[in-house]
Amino acid sequence: MKTEFPSKEGIERSWHVIDAKDLVLGRVASLAAKLLMGKHKPIYTTFLDTGDHVIVLNASKVRLTGRKEEQKMYRYHTGYPGGLVERTAKDQRATRPVKMLEDAIAGMLPKSKLGKQMYRKLNVYAGDKHPHAAQKPTAMAVN
């Protein structure tokens, strides 16, 4: 008996919308990562991209638990000597709220070419409007 693997043409990709308003950052990120990888489908295979497209709205209104708003640090390096830039979650939310959610979701995807391919199907918006109405996305509820 042979194992059936989905072909590239045989994978149907749907679009999902997640409203992150007043939801915990990690819960939204884990649901989005699960949808991007395709773990919710019966044809899920670890070495194929079987996932769907994900749209996350209201990234600026996502909630952090505990004292993470003041204590959690976002770091990046400019490439120059002494170029380490550190921001608290509060500052990051004020300047680049979309980056908070994108980093959380990217951290839950595979660290490979396949993970980068999955990440390209992610669209995050700070407000509640998105330009993907033509794709007829379905709303996803977060527990």
Which band of pLDDT confidence, cut at 50, 70 and 90, is reported for residue 1? confident
pLDDT at 72: 96
CATH code assigned at 128: 3.90.1180.10
Is 5 inside any structural domain?
no
Q: Is residue 9 part of a domain?
A: no
**With bands split at pLDDT 50, 70 and 90, how would you rate the model's confidence at 52?**
very high
Domain count of the chain?
1
Task: Determine how β-strand 73-77 pairs with β-strand 84-88.
Answer: antiparallel
Tell me if 49 is assigned to some domain.
Answer: yes
pTM: 0.92
Q: Is residue 127 within 8 Å of 61, Cβ to Cβ? A: no
- The answer, yes or no, to whether residue 136 has pLDDT greater than 80, is yes
Average pLDDT over residues 41-59: 95
Look at residue 1 and tell me if it is in a domain.
no
Burial class (CB in 10 A: 0-12, 13-18, 19+), 3: exposed
Query: In the block, which residue shows the tokens 């679009």?
Result: 15
Mean pLDDT of 4-32: 94
Residue 8 included in any domain: no
